Chains A and B, each alone.
Chain A
Amino acid sequence: MTLRLSAATYRYAGARRNALDGVDLELSAGTVLGVVGPNEAGKSTLCLVASGLAPVVVAGRLSGSVTIDGRETTDMRPHELAQRCGILFQNPQAQLSGTAATVFEEIAFGPRNLGLSLSTVIQRIAACLEALGIAALADRDPARLSGGQAQLVALAAILALEPDFLILDEPTSQLDPQGTRLVGEALRRLVGERRTAILVVEHKTALLDRLADRVVVVDEGRIVREGPTADVLDDPMLPRHGVEPPPRVRVRSALTAAGMGTPAATDLLMAELAS
Protein backbone atom coordinates (compact mmCIF):
# COMPACT_ATOMS: atom_id res chain seq x y z
CA MET A 1 0.00 0.00 0.00
CA THR A 2 1.87 3.04 -1.26
CA LEU A 3 1.15 6.61 -2.24
CA ARG A 4 3.83 7.85 -4.60
CA LEU A 5 4.68 11.21 -6.12
CA SER A 6 7.04 11.02 -9.10
CA ALA A 7 8.55 14.22 -10.47
CA ALA A 8 5.35 15.96 -9.31
CA THR A 9 5.28 19.55 -10.50
CA TYR A 10 2.29 21.77 -9.83
CA ARG A 11 1.40 25.29 -10.83
CA TYR A 12 -1.79 27.00 -9.62
CA ALA A 13 -4.04 28.41 -12.32
CA GLY A 14 -2.86 31.95 -13.07
CA ALA A 15 0.37 31.62 -11.06
CA ARG A 16 3.71 32.63 -12.58
CA ARG A 17 5.83 29.94 -10.96
CA ASN A 18 5.61 26.33 -9.86
CA ALA A 19 4.42 25.78 -6.30
CA LEU A 20 5.86 22.25 -6.42
CA ASP A 21 8.82 21.47 -8.59
CA GLY A 22 9.83 17.89 -9.35
CA VAL A 23 8.93 16.25 -6.06
CA ASP A 24 9.61 12.53 -5.59
CA LEU A 25 8.14 11.04 -2.47
CA GLU A 26 6.84 7.74 -1.17
CA LEU A 27 4.38 7.15 1.66
CA SER A 28 4.04 3.54 2.80
CA ALA A 29 1.64 1.72 5.10
CA GLY A 30 2.45 1.89 8.79
CA THR A 31 4.82 4.85 8.53
CA VAL A 32 4.75 8.56 9.36
CA LEU A 33 6.46 11.04 7.06
CA GLY A 34 7.08 14.49 8.53
CA VAL A 35 7.25 17.55 6.26
CA VAL A 36 8.99 20.74 7.38
CA GLY A 37 10.04 23.92 5.62
CA PRO A 38 9.65 27.69 5.62
CA ASN A 39 6.41 29.59 5.03
CA GLU A 40 5.26 29.45 1.41
CA ALA A 41 7.65 26.59 0.60
CA GLY A 42 4.92 24.49 -1.00
CA LYS A 43 4.03 22.31 2.00
CA SER A 44 0.26 22.91 1.78
CA THR A 45 0.42 22.46 -2.00
CA LEU A 46 2.18 19.15 -1.41
CA CYS A 47 -0.78 18.12 0.78
CA LEU A 48 -3.32 19.12 -1.88
CA VAL A 49 -1.42 17.30 -4.63
CA ALA A 50 -0.73 14.17 -2.55
CA SER A 51 -4.41 13.90 -1.60
CA GLY A 52 -5.51 14.30 -5.22
CA LEU A 53 -7.47 17.52 -4.51
CA ALA A 54 -5.13 19.40 -6.80
CA PRO A 55 -5.68 19.55 -9.73
CA VAL A 56 -9.12 17.86 -9.52
CA VAL A 57 -10.73 20.38 -7.13
CA VAL A 58 -8.07 23.10 -6.87
CA ALA A 59 -7.40 24.38 -10.37
CA GLY A 60 -3.89 24.16 -11.74
CA ARG A 61 -1.55 22.13 -13.91
CA LEU A 62 0.05 18.92 -12.63
CA SER A 63 2.88 17.16 -14.41
CA GLY A 64 4.62 14.02 -13.24
CA SER A 65 2.43 11.53 -11.45
CA VAL A 66 0.63 10.89 -8.18
CA THR A 67 -0.38 7.26 -7.68
CA ILE A 68 -2.02 5.13 -5.02
CA ASP A 69 -0.98 1.49 -5.37
CA GLY A 70 0.06 2.21 -8.93
CA ARG A 71 -3.16 3.97 -10.03
CA GLU A 72 -3.08 7.64 -10.99
CA THR A 73 -5.16 9.64 -8.52
CA THR A 74 -6.42 11.77 -11.42
CA ASP A 75 -8.08 8.61 -12.82
CA MET A 76 -9.82 7.74 -9.56
CA ARG A 77 -13.41 8.72 -8.82
CA PRO A 78 -13.75 11.34 -6.07
CA HIS A 79 -15.58 8.98 -3.69
CA GLU A 80 -12.98 6.30 -4.26
CA LEU A 81 -10.14 8.71 -3.59
CA ALA A 82 -11.87 10.12 -0.51
CA GLN A 83 -12.09 6.63 1.00
CA ARG A 84 -8.40 5.90 0.44
CA CYS A 85 -6.97 9.25 1.39
CA GLY A 86 -8.14 11.76 4.00
CA ILE A 87 -6.84 15.34 4.23
CA LEU A 88 -6.95 17.77 7.14
CA PHE A 89 -6.69 21.39 6.04
CA GLN A 90 -4.55 23.94 7.80
CA ASN A 91 -7.58 25.99 8.81
CA PRO A 92 -10.16 23.77 10.57
CA GLN A 93 -12.90 26.32 9.86
CA ALA A 94 -12.46 25.49 6.17
CA GLN A 95 -13.00 21.82 6.95
CA LEU A 96 -16.14 21.76 9.07
CA SER A 97 -19.28 21.21 7.00
CA GLY A 98 -21.27 24.10 8.46
CA THR A 99 -24.35 21.90 8.21
CA ALA A 100 -24.21 19.84 11.40
CA ALA A 101 -25.95 21.00 14.56
CA THR A 102 -23.64 19.10 16.90
CA VAL A 103 -20.04 17.91 16.95
CA PHE A 104 -21.34 14.33 16.97
CA GLU A 105 -23.27 14.89 13.72
CA GLU A 106 -20.31 16.71 12.18
CA ILE A 107 -18.08 13.69 12.74
CA ALA A 108 -20.87 11.34 11.56
CA PHE A 109 -21.19 13.15 8.22
CA GLY A 110 -18.27 11.40 6.49
CA PRO A 111 -18.74 7.82 7.71
CA ARG A 112 -22.50 7.98 7.02
CA ASN A 113 -21.71 8.88 3.42
CA LEU A 114 -19.61 5.73 3.20
CA GLY A 115 -22.81 3.74 3.70
CA LEU A 116 -21.66 2.19 6.97
CA SER A 117 -24.17 0.75 9.45
CA LEU A 118 -25.36 3.13 12.12
CA SER A 119 -23.79 1.08 14.90
CA THR A 120 -20.40 1.18 13.14
CA VAL A 121 -20.70 4.94 12.65
CA ILE A 122 -21.53 5.47 16.32
CA GLN A 123 -18.71 3.22 17.41
CA ARG A 124 -16.19 5.06 15.23
CA ILE A 125 -17.32 8.46 16.48
CA ALA A 126 -17.05 7.39 20.11
CA ALA A 127 -13.55 6.01 19.50
CA CYS A 128 -12.36 9.22 17.79
CA LEU A 129 -13.84 11.52 20.43
CA GLU A 130 -12.19 9.44 23.13
CA ALA A 131 -8.78 9.25 21.43
CA LEU A 132 -8.59 13.03 21.01
CA GLY A 133 -9.96 13.81 24.47
CA ILE A 134 -13.02 15.68 23.18
CA ALA A 135 -15.89 13.40 24.30
CA ALA A 136 -17.29 16.36 26.27
CA LEU A 137 -17.75 18.33 23.04
CA ALA A 138 -20.13 15.79 21.41
CA ASP A 139 -23.29 17.88 21.92
CA ARG A 140 -21.71 21.27 21.23
CA ASP A 141 -22.46 23.44 18.19
CA PRO A 142 -19.47 23.11 15.79
CA ALA A 143 -19.80 26.81 14.91
CA ARG A 144 -19.14 27.81 18.53
CA LEU A 145 -15.87 26.05 19.22
CA SER A 146 -12.53 27.62 20.05
CA GLY A 147 -9.76 27.34 17.45
CA GLY A 148 -8.14 24.41 19.23
CA GLN A 149 -11.44 22.58 19.73
CA ALA A 150 -12.41 23.06 16.07
CA GLN A 151 -9.07 21.64 15.01
CA LEU A 152 -9.59 18.49 17.10
CA VAL A 153 -13.16 18.06 15.77
CA ALA A 154 -11.97 18.44 12.16
CA LEU A 155 -9.28 15.83 12.82
CA ALA A 156 -11.80 13.46 14.45
CA ALA A 157 -14.03 13.80 11.38
CA ILE A 158 -11.17 12.62 9.16
CA LEU A 159 -10.07 9.84 11.51
CA ALA A 160 -13.65 8.49 11.58
CA LEU A 161 -13.36 7.77 7.84
CA GLU A 162 -10.45 5.41 8.65
CA PRO A 163 -8.62 6.13 5.38
CA ASP A 164 -5.46 4.20 4.46
CA PHE A 165 -3.61 7.44 3.88
CA LEU A 166 -3.85 10.52 6.07
CA ILE A 167 -2.55 13.89 4.89
CA LEU A 168 -2.38 16.39 7.76
CA ASP A 169 -1.52 20.06 7.22
CA GLU A 170 -0.35 21.41 10.59
CA PRO A 171 -2.86 19.39 12.65
CA THR A 172 -1.74 20.86 16.00
CA SER A 173 -1.18 24.52 15.09
CA GLN A 174 -3.93 25.77 17.43
CA LEU A 175 -3.57 23.17 20.15
CA ASP A 176 -2.17 23.51 23.64
CA PRO A 177 0.69 21.22 24.68
CA GLN A 178 -1.68 18.59 26.08
CA GLY A 179 -3.82 18.54 22.92
CA THR A 180 -0.66 18.27 20.82
CA ARG A 181 0.48 15.29 22.88
CA LEU A 182 -2.91 13.57 22.55
CA VAL A 183 -2.89 14.02 18.77
CA GLY A 184 0.63 12.58 18.59
CA GLU A 185 -0.42 9.54 20.62
CA ALA A 186 -3.63 9.01 18.62
CA LEU A 187 -1.71 9.13 15.32
CA ARG A 188 0.98 6.77 16.56
CA ARG A 189 -1.76 4.33 17.64
CA LEU A 190 -3.39 4.49 14.20
CA VAL A 191 -0.09 3.65 12.55
CA GLY A 192 0.49 0.73 14.93
CA GLU A 193 -3.03 -0.70 14.90
CA ARG A 194 -4.33 0.08 11.43
CA ARG A 195 -1.06 0.46 9.52
CA THR A 196 -2.27 3.88 8.40
CA ALA A 197 0.24 5.86 6.32
CA ILE A 198 0.52 9.45 7.53
CA LEU A 199 2.05 12.52 5.91
CA VAL A 200 2.14 15.37 8.40
CA VAL A 201 3.24 18.98 7.89
CA GLU A 202 4.40 20.43 11.21
CA HIS A 203 6.33 23.42 12.54
CA LYS A 204 6.54 21.64 15.91
CA THR A 205 9.69 19.63 15.38
CA ALA A 206 9.45 18.31 18.96
CA LEU A 207 6.26 16.48 17.90
CA LEU A 208 7.87 15.10 14.73
CA ASP A 209 10.82 13.96 16.81
CA ARG A 210 8.48 11.54 18.64
CA LEU A 211 6.06 10.78 15.81
CA ALA A 212 7.76 10.61 12.41
CA ASP A 213 9.83 7.77 10.94
CA ARG A 214 11.27 9.99 8.24
CA VAL A 215 11.33 13.74 7.59
CA VAL A 216 11.60 15.73 4.36
CA VAL A 217 12.54 19.41 4.19
CA VAL A 218 10.69 21.34 1.48
CA ASP A 219 11.94 24.73 0.28
CA GLU A 220 10.89 26.65 -2.84
CA GLY A 221 8.78 23.74 -4.03
CA ARG A 222 11.55 21.16 -3.87
CA ILE A 223 12.67 18.52 -1.43
CA VAL A 224 16.06 19.72 -0.23
CA ARG A 225 16.74 17.11 2.47
CA GLU A 226 15.28 13.73 3.31
CA GLY A 227 16.14 11.01 5.79
CA PRO A 228 15.42 9.30 9.10
CA THR A 229 13.85 11.74 11.59
CA ALA A 230 16.80 11.97 14.00
CA ASP A 231 19.28 12.62 11.15
CA VAL A 232 17.23 15.39 9.54
CA LEU A 233 16.22 17.12 12.78
CA ASP A 234 19.86 17.08 13.98
CA ASP A 235 21.06 18.67 10.74
CA PRO A 236 22.54 22.14 11.40
CA MET A 237 21.14 23.35 8.06
CA LEU A 238 17.54 23.33 9.38
CA PRO A 239 17.43 27.00 10.51
CA ARG A 240 18.65 28.08 7.05
CA HIS A 241 15.41 26.59 5.74
CA GLY A 242 13.35 28.43 8.33
CA VAL A 243 12.88 25.34 10.50
CA GLU A 244 13.31 25.46 14.25
CA PRO A 245 15.35 22.49 15.53
CA PRO A 246 13.65 20.48 18.31
CA PRO A 247 14.42 21.48 21.93
CA ARG A 248 16.83 18.58 22.51
CA VAL A 249 18.99 19.81 19.62
CA ARG A 250 18.81 23.48 20.67
CA VAL A 251 19.63 22.75 24.30
CA ARG A 252 22.49 20.47 23.29
CA SER A 253 23.88 23.37 21.22
CA ALA A 254 23.47 25.63 24.25
CA LEU A 255 25.35 23.17 26.43
CA THR A 256 28.10 22.89 23.83
CA ALA A 257 28.33 26.68 23.64
CA ALA A 258 28.76 26.73 27.41
CA GLY A 259 31.58 24.21 27.13
CA MET A 260 29.42 21.38 28.45
CA GLY A 261 28.83 19.34 25.31
CA THR A 262 30.18 16.20 26.95
CA PRO A 263 28.65 12.72 26.81
CA ALA A 264 27.64 13.13 30.48
CA ALA A 265 25.78 16.32 29.62
CA THR A 266 24.03 14.60 26.73
CA ASP A 267 23.03 11.74 29.06
CA LEU A 268 21.54 14.25 31.46
CA LEU A 269 19.63 15.82 28.63
CA MET A 270 18.18 12.50 27.56
CA ALA A 271 17.20 11.73 31.17
CA GLU A 272 15.34 15.06 31.26
CA LEU A 273 13.58 14.32 28.01
CA ALA A 274 12.46 10.90 29.19
CA SER A 275 11.10 12.20 32.51
Chain B
Amino acid sequence: MTAVDIRGVAYTYPGGVRALDGVNLAIGPGETLAIVGQNGSGKSTLVRHLNGLLRPDEGHVWLDGSAVGRRHVAELARLVGLAFQDPDRQIFAGSVRAEVAFGPRNLGLRGAELDGRVVEALEAVGLAGSADENPYDLGYSRRKLLSIASVLAMRTPIVVLDEPTTGQDLRGVARVRAIVAALAAEGRTVITISHDMRFVAETFRRVIVMRAGRIVLDGTPADVFAAASWDVLASTYLEPPLAARVGARLGVGSTPTEASLVEALAARA
Protein backbone atom coordinates (compact mmCIF):
# COMPACT_ATOMS: atom_id res chain seq x y z
CA MET B 1 0.00 0.00 0.00
CA THR B 2 1.25 3.50 -0.79
CA ALA B 3 1.44 6.15 1.93
CA VAL B 4 0.69 8.92 -0.55
CA ASP B 5 -0.80 8.53 -4.02
CA ILE B 6 -1.28 11.66 -6.09
CA ARG B 7 -2.90 11.20 -9.51
CA GLY B 8 -3.35 13.86 -12.17
CA VAL B 9 -3.54 16.67 -9.65
CA ALA B 10 -3.95 20.20 -11.01
CA TYR B 11 -4.53 23.37 -9.02
CA THR B 12 -5.02 27.01 -10.01
CA TYR B 13 -4.95 29.74 -7.36
CA PRO B 14 -7.75 32.31 -7.31
CA GLY B 15 -6.25 34.97 -9.56
CA GLY B 16 -5.21 32.51 -12.23
CA VAL B 17 -1.74 31.20 -11.28
CA ARG B 18 -1.70 27.53 -12.33
CA ALA B 19 0.53 26.15 -9.58
CA LEU B 20 0.10 22.42 -10.28
CA ASP B 21 -0.31 21.10 -13.79
CA GLY B 22 -0.93 17.34 -13.73
CA VAL B 23 1.17 15.84 -10.93
CA ASN B 24 1.48 12.05 -10.49
CA LEU B 25 3.41 10.82 -7.49
CA ALA B 26 3.30 7.63 -5.40
CA ILE B 27 5.27 7.51 -2.15
CA GLY B 28 5.71 4.36 -0.10
CA PRO B 29 5.58 3.99 3.71
CA GLY B 30 8.97 4.70 5.26
CA GLU B 31 10.18 6.42 2.11
CA THR B 32 12.13 9.69 2.43
CA LEU B 33 11.44 12.13 -0.39
CA ALA B 34 12.80 15.62 -1.09
CA ILE B 35 11.03 18.05 -3.40
CA VAL B 36 13.30 20.61 -5.05
CA GLY B 37 12.70 23.36 -7.60
CA GLN B 38 12.58 27.11 -8.02
CA ASN B 39 10.50 29.40 -5.82
CA GLY B 40 7.04 29.26 -7.38
CA SER B 41 7.46 25.83 -9.03
CA GLY B 42 4.58 24.34 -7.03
CA LYS B 43 6.40 22.59 -4.17
CA SER B 44 4.47 24.13 -1.27
CA THR B 45 1.20 23.97 -3.21
CA LEU B 46 1.73 20.23 -3.71
CA VAL B 47 2.30 19.43 -0.03
CA ARG B 48 -0.71 21.54 0.99
CA HIS B 49 -2.82 19.02 -0.89
CA LEU B 50 -1.70 16.31 1.55
CA ASN B 51 -3.42 17.72 4.61
CA GLY B 52 -6.43 19.32 2.98
CA LEU B 53 -5.22 22.93 3.19
CA LEU B 54 -5.82 22.93 -0.57
CA ARG B 55 -8.15 20.70 -2.63
CA PRO B 56 -7.28 19.80 -6.22
CA ASP B 57 -9.22 21.29 -9.17
CA GLU B 58 -8.50 18.09 -11.06
CA GLY B 59 -7.22 14.67 -10.01
CA HIS B 60 -7.21 12.86 -6.67
CA VAL B 61 -5.09 12.36 -3.58
CA TRP B 62 -5.06 9.12 -1.55
CA LEU B 63 -3.47 8.76 1.88
CA ASP B 64 -2.84 5.27 3.26
CA GLY B 65 -5.11 3.88 0.57
CA SER B 66 -8.15 6.04 1.18
CA ALA B 67 -9.20 9.11 -0.80
CA VAL B 68 -8.73 12.54 0.77
CA GLY B 69 -11.83 13.80 -1.01
CA ARG B 70 -13.62 16.26 1.23
CA ARG B 71 -12.34 14.78 4.50
CA HIS B 72 -11.95 17.40 7.17
CA VAL B 73 -8.59 19.03 7.91
CA ALA B 74 -8.82 17.89 11.54
CA GLU B 75 -9.21 14.28 10.44
CA LEU B 76 -6.30 14.55 8.00
CA ALA B 77 -4.15 16.01 10.79
CA ARG B 78 -4.00 12.51 12.28
CA LEU B 79 -2.38 11.26 9.09
CA VAL B 80 -0.19 14.13 7.93
CA GLY B 81 1.87 16.54 10.02
CA LEU B 82 3.10 19.64 8.20
CA ALA B 83 5.77 21.96 9.61
CA PHE B 84 5.44 25.30 7.85
CA GLN B 85 8.27 27.17 6.19
CA ASP B 86 7.64 30.19 8.43
CA PRO B 87 7.45 28.96 12.04
CA ASP B 88 5.75 32.19 13.12
CA ARG B 89 2.67 31.22 11.11
CA GLN B 90 2.42 28.12 13.24
CA ILE B 91 3.45 29.20 16.73
CA PHE B 92 0.86 30.81 19.00
CA ALA B 93 1.11 29.40 22.54
CA GLY B 94 2.65 31.12 25.56
CA SER B 95 5.17 28.41 26.36
CA VAL B 96 7.21 25.92 24.39
CA ARG B 97 5.54 23.06 26.30
CA ALA B 98 2.01 24.32 25.58
CA GLU B 99 2.87 24.84 21.93
CA VAL B 100 3.93 21.21 21.48
CA ALA B 101 1.07 19.86 23.63
CA PHE B 102 -1.64 21.62 21.60
CA GLY B 103 -1.84 19.04 18.80
CA PRO B 104 -1.80 15.82 20.85
CA ARG B 105 -4.23 17.39 23.36
CA ASN B 106 -6.65 17.81 20.48
CA LEU B 107 -6.19 14.12 19.74
CA GLY B 108 -7.60 13.51 23.23
CA LEU B 109 -4.34 12.80 25.05
CA ARG B 110 -4.08 13.84 28.70
CA GLY B 111 -1.83 13.42 31.73
CA ALA B 112 1.30 11.31 31.61
CA GLU B 113 0.68 10.19 28.05
CA LEU B 114 0.48 13.80 26.85
CA ASP B 115 3.54 14.81 28.87
CA GLY B 116 5.48 11.89 27.44
CA ARG B 117 4.70 12.94 23.89
CA VAL B 118 5.78 16.51 24.58
CA VAL B 119 9.05 15.55 26.25
CA GLU B 120 9.89 13.06 23.49
CA ALA B 121 9.30 15.66 20.75
CA LEU B 122 11.25 18.37 22.56
CA GLU B 123 14.15 15.99 23.15
CA ALA B 124 14.25 15.10 19.45
CA VAL B 125 14.75 18.75 18.50
CA GLY B 126 17.01 19.60 21.45
CA LEU B 127 14.57 21.95 23.21
CA ALA B 128 13.84 19.86 26.33
CA GLY B 129 15.65 22.46 28.46
CA SER B 130 13.48 25.27 27.10
CA ALA B 131 10.02 23.81 27.84
CA ASP B 132 8.95 26.71 30.06
CA GLU B 133 10.26 29.50 27.83
CA ASN B 134 8.07 31.73 25.73
CA PRO B 135 8.41 30.63 22.07
CA TYR B 136 9.05 34.24 21.05
CA ASP B 137 12.06 34.44 23.36
CA LEU B 138 13.69 31.75 21.22
CA GLY B 139 15.82 32.74 18.24
CA TYR B 140 14.54 32.01 14.74
CA SER B 141 16.46 28.74 14.38
CA ARG B 142 14.97 27.36 17.61
CA ARG B 143 11.45 28.55 16.74
CA LYS B 144 11.91 26.56 13.54
CA LEU B 145 12.87 23.46 15.56
CA LEU B 146 9.89 24.08 17.84
CA SER B 147 7.53 24.00 14.86
CA ILE B 148 9.05 20.64 13.90
CA ALA B 149 8.60 19.34 17.47
CA SER B 150 4.90 20.22 17.33
CA VAL B 151 4.54 18.05 14.25
CA LEU B 152 6.58 15.17 15.74
CA ALA B 153 4.31 15.15 18.81
CA MET B 154 1.36 14.24 16.58
CA ARG B 155 3.11 10.95 15.63
CA THR B 156 1.54 11.03 12.18
CA PRO B 157 2.46 8.31 9.68
CA ILE B 158 3.34 11.05 7.18
CA VAL B 159 5.55 14.00 8.14
CA VAL B 160 6.11 16.98 5.84
CA LEU B 161 8.92 19.46 6.60
CA ASP B 162 8.91 22.67 4.53
CA GLU B 163 12.48 24.05 4.36
CA PRO B 164 13.50 22.53 7.73
CA THR B 165 17.15 23.64 7.51
CA THR B 166 16.45 27.36 6.97
CA GLY B 167 18.45 29.35 9.49
CA GLN B 168 20.07 26.23 10.99
CA ASP B 169 23.78 25.94 11.63
CA LEU B 170 25.75 22.70 11.10
CA ARG B 171 24.48 21.19 14.36
CA GLY B 172 20.90 22.16 13.56
CA VAL B 173 21.13 20.54 10.13
CA ALA B 174 22.62 17.39 11.72
CA ARG B 175 19.69 17.33 14.14
CA VAL B 176 17.15 17.57 11.32
CA ARG B 177 18.97 14.77 9.47
CA ALA B 178 18.79 12.57 12.58
CA ILE B 179 15.05 13.28 12.92
CA VAL B 180 14.42 12.27 9.30
CA ALA B 181 16.43 9.06 9.76
CA ALA B 182 14.61 8.17 12.99
CA LEU B 183 11.18 8.73 11.43
CA ALA B 184 12.06 6.60 8.40
CA ALA B 185 13.40 3.84 10.67
CA GLU B 186 9.97 3.74 12.34
CA GLY B 187 8.39 3.24 8.92
CA ARG B 188 6.98 6.74 8.73
CA THR B 189 7.04 8.64 5.46
CA VAL B 190 9.07 11.85 5.40
CA ILE B 191 8.64 14.50 2.72
CA THR B 192 10.68 17.68 2.65
CA ILE B 193 10.88 20.80 0.52
CA SER B 194 14.38 22.22 0.34
CA HIS B 195 16.74 24.48 -1.56
CA ASP B 196 19.68 22.97 0.31
CA MET B 197 21.09 20.46 -2.18
CA ARG B 198 23.68 19.12 0.24
CA PHE B 199 21.02 18.34 2.86
CA VAL B 200 18.85 16.74 0.17
CA ALA B 201 21.63 14.60 -1.32
CA GLU B 202 22.87 13.39 2.06
CA THR B 203 19.53 12.78 3.76
CA PHE B 204 16.86 11.60 1.31
CA ARG B 205 16.63 8.40 -0.70
CA ARG B 206 14.44 9.92 -3.37
CA VAL B 207 14.39 13.36 -4.96
CA ILE B 208 11.82 14.92 -7.28
CA VAL B 209 12.48 18.10 -9.22
CA MET B 210 9.51 20.37 -10.00
CA ARG B 211 9.24 22.96 -12.74
CA ALA B 212 6.14 25.03 -13.52
CA GLY B 213 3.79 22.71 -11.62
CA ARG B 214 5.10 19.44 -13.03
CA ILE B 215 7.58 16.80 -11.92
CA VAL B 216 10.50 16.82 -14.36
CA LEU B 217 12.93 14.47 -12.58
CA ASP B 218 12.30 11.62 -10.12
CA GLY B 219 14.94 9.27 -8.74
CA THR B 220 17.69 8.71 -6.18
CA PRO B 221 20.08 11.61 -5.48
CA ALA B 222 22.61 9.76 -7.68
CA ASP B 223 20.04 9.69 -10.54
CA VAL B 224 18.82 13.25 -10.19
CA PHE B 225 22.29 14.80 -9.83
CA ALA B 226 23.91 12.57 -12.52
CA ALA B 227 25.44 14.31 -15.53
CA ALA B 228 22.57 13.07 -17.73
CA SER B 229 20.15 15.22 -15.67
CA TRP B 230 22.14 18.44 -15.64
CA ASP B 231 20.32 20.01 -18.60
CA VAL B 232 16.95 19.47 -16.91
CA LEU B 233 18.35 20.80 -13.61
CA ALA B 234 19.70 23.87 -15.42
CA SER B 235 16.24 24.51 -16.91
CA THR B 236 15.01 24.94 -13.31
CA TYR B 237 18.07 27.02 -12.35
CA LEU B 238 19.33 24.28 -10.04
CA GLU B 239 22.96 23.24 -9.85
CA PRO B 240 24.15 19.76 -8.93
CA PRO B 241 26.32 19.69 -5.78
CA LEU B 242 29.99 20.43 -6.47
CA ALA B 243 30.90 16.84 -5.49
CA ALA B 244 28.69 15.58 -8.36
CA ARG B 245 30.37 17.92 -10.85
CA VAL B 246 33.85 16.91 -9.71
CA GLY B 247 32.93 13.19 -9.77
CA ALA B 248 31.66 13.50 -13.34
CA ARG B 249 34.82 15.32 -14.40
CA LEU B 250 36.95 12.60 -12.81
CA GLY B 251 34.88 9.92 -14.54
CA VAL B 252 33.81 8.06 -11.39
CA GLY B 253 30.06 8.13 -12.04
CA SER B 254 27.41 10.06 -10.12
CA THR B 255 28.69 11.25 -6.73
CA PRO B 256 26.10 13.62 -5.27
CA THR B 257 27.78 13.76 -1.83
CA GLU B 258 31.36 14.23 -0.71
CA ALA B 259 31.23 10.80 0.99
CA SER B 260 30.13 9.14 -2.24
CA LEU B 261 32.92 10.96 -4.10
CA VAL B 262 35.55 9.64 -1.67
CA GLU B 263 34.04 6.16 -1.92
CA ALA B 264 34.01 6.18 -5.73
CA LEU B 265 37.60 7.42 -5.89
CA ALA B 266 38.71 4.78 -3.37
CA ALA B 267 36.96 2.05 -5.36
CA ARG B 268 38.76 3.13 -8.53
CA ALA B 269 42.19 3.27 -6.85
Interface positions of A (Cβ within 8 A of B): 37-40, 44, 90-91, 93-94, 146-149, 170, 173-180, 203, 239, 242-244, 247-248, 250-251, 253-255, 257-260, 268-269, 271-273, 275
What residues of chain A lie closer than 8 Å to B112, measured between beta carbons? none
**Are A251 and B246 interface neighbours, CB within 8 A?**
yes
CB contacts (< 8 Å) of A271 on chain B: these are 249
Interface pair A176/B38, CB less than 8 Å apart: yes
B163 with A258: CB separation less than 8 A: no
Q: Is B266 positioned at the interface, with any CB of A under 8 Å from its CB? A: yes
A189 to B12, alpha carbons, bound, how many Å?
37
Q: Could you tell me which B residues sit within 8 Å of A by CB distance?
A: 37-40, 44, 85-86, 88-89, 139-142, 163, 166-173, 195, 197-198, 237-239, 241-243, 245-246, 249-250, 258-259, 261-262, 265-266, 269
Given known contacts A39-B139, A243-B170, A254 and B261 CB-to-CB distance under 8 angstroms: yes
SS class, residues of chain A in contact with chain B: helix
| Chain A residues within an 8 Å CB radius of B238 | 176-177
Q: Which 10 A-B pairs have the closest CB atoms?
A: A258-B265, A242-B169, A178-B237, A148-B39, A247-B242, A39-B141, A254-B258, A38-B169, A258-B262, A176-B39
Could you tell me if B237 and A268 are in contact, using CB atoms closer than 8 angstroms?
no
Which residues from B are CB-within-8-Å of A90?
140, 167
Known: A147-B163, A251-B242. A268 touches B250 (CB 8 A): yes
- Taking CB atoms, residues of chain A closer than 8 Å to B243 are 247, 250-251, 254
Residues of B close to A239: CB separation below 8 A: 170
CB-CB under 8 A from B170, the residues of chain A are 38, 239, 242-244
Question: What residues on A are CB-neighbors of B141 within 8 Å?
Answer: 39-40
Question: Nearest residue in A to B264 (C-beta to C-beta)?
Answer: A258
- Considering only CB atoms, which chain B residue lies closest to A244 in the complex? B170
Given the complex, which residues of A lie within 8 Å of B86, measured CB to CB?
A: 91, 93, 147
| A7 CB, nearest partner CB in chain B, Å | 24
Chain B at the A interface: mostly helix, strand, loop or mixed? helix
Indicate if the CB atoms of B266 and A272 lie closer than 8 Å: no
From known contacts A203-B169, A273-B242, infer whether A149 and B139 are also in contact, taking CB-CB under 8 Å.
Answer: no
Contact A255 B169 (CB under 8 A): no
Q: Is the CB of B258 within 8 A of A39?
A: no
Q: Are A248 and B242 in contact (CB-based, < 8 A)?
A: yes
Least Cβ distance of B246 to chain A in Å? 6
Instruction: State whether A242 touches B269 (Cβ < 8 A).
Output: no
Which of B44, B139, B169, B261 has the most chain A CB atoms inside 10 A of its CB?
B169
16 A-B pairs with CB atoms under 8 Å apart are A38-B171, A40-B139, A40-B141, A90-B140, A146-B40, A146-B44, A170-B167, A173-B167, A176-B238, A203-B169, A247-B241, A251-B242, A251-B243, A258-B265, A268-B249, A272-B245
